[in-house]
Structure 1
Amino acid sequence: MKLQPDRFDTLFINAYAEDWIAVSGEKKHHSLVVSSQGRCSDWGCRSFAELSAAHFASLADDAPEVVIFGSGAKLRFVSPALLRGLIERGIGVETMDTAAACRTYNILAQEGRRVVAALLLETP
């Protein structure tokens, strides 16, 4: 799906498919973190089974109001123990499939919210 930004002062997810996500026009073929504060980086996990508390704890670095977790092609919830570090800091966490997470990140970022999207792209 192709998307268009309303604002140009934040990172924007332009398009996505099952095996890639385009952030500000650059295609990424791995799991990534996108922040409305300007960070776009490799998330360091290739599958849902690899996710750890450390993956989620690193998301607090941008001091977001909310983290949008894109769980891959289908909606899957991680153990609350993995989210404990975010919850203890008062950071909200919403889980959805990666396509919905891309759309939701864009809406919140365009509203000027401090949001981080952690987007899982599972690779073989």
Structure 2
Amino acid sequence: MDITPHIAEGRQLVERYGAGRFRVTGRVFEGSVLVTPEVAVAWPVTCFEELTVESLEPLLAAGLDVLLLGCGPRLLRPAKSLREAVRARGPVLEPMDTGAAARTYNVLMAEERRVGAALIAID
């Protein structure tokens, strides 16, 4: 029995991560990536300490309900000021390790939720 969810054509699915890269719907990204169901783009953030509201702007402008933050190899807590600034723009910010964020994004995207993910690359 195939339990793979049906993904609409053109939707961005995180297929692989690790070794400093991501594969999203067949396209390889070296380094970090921003992903929504409609688009995936390279993201110049290389570590959690570089995270700013400005670096999240492409996702904040997308009208999301949930913004998943893949913090790297482990969960880190963003500064209160960052969490409040993101929430003021609409989405709920959900930090987690990058692997968990990629998997959660895929599930929520398959459910056709308004979700995006900011994923910091891991080795």
- TM-score normalised by L of structure 2: 0.86
Q: 1:94 is matched by which residue type in structure 2?
A: E
| 1:50 match | 50
1:23 aligns with 2:4: no
**1:94 deviation in Å?**
0.7
Paired residues of 1:57 and 1:85 also in contact (CA < 8 A)? no
More displaced, 47-56 or 103-112? 47-56
Q: Which ranges of structure 2 fall in alignment gaps of 5 or more residues?
A: none
Change (3 A) 1:46 1:101: same
Paired residues of 1:56 and 1:83 also in contact (CA < 8 A)? no
1:75 is paired with a residue whose SS is coil
Paired residues of 1:46 and 1:122 also in contact (CA < 8 A)? no
- After TM superposition, the structure 1 = structure 2 runs for residues 1-124 of structure 1, keeping only pairs within 5 Å, are 6-9=6-9, 10-36=11-37, 38-121=38-121
Distance in 2, matches of 1:103 and 1:122, equals 14
Distance in 2, matches of 1:112 and 1:101, equals 16
Q: 2:35 is matched by which residue type in structure 1?
A: V
- TM-score normalised by L of structure 1: 0.86
Runs (4+) of structure 1 moved beyond 6 Å? none
Distance in 2, matches of 1:80 and 1:118, equals 18
**1:110 deviation in Å?**
0.3
Percent identity between the two aligned chains: 30
**1:88 deviation in Å?**
0.9
Q: Which ranges of structure 1 fall in alignment gaps of 5 or more residues?
A: none
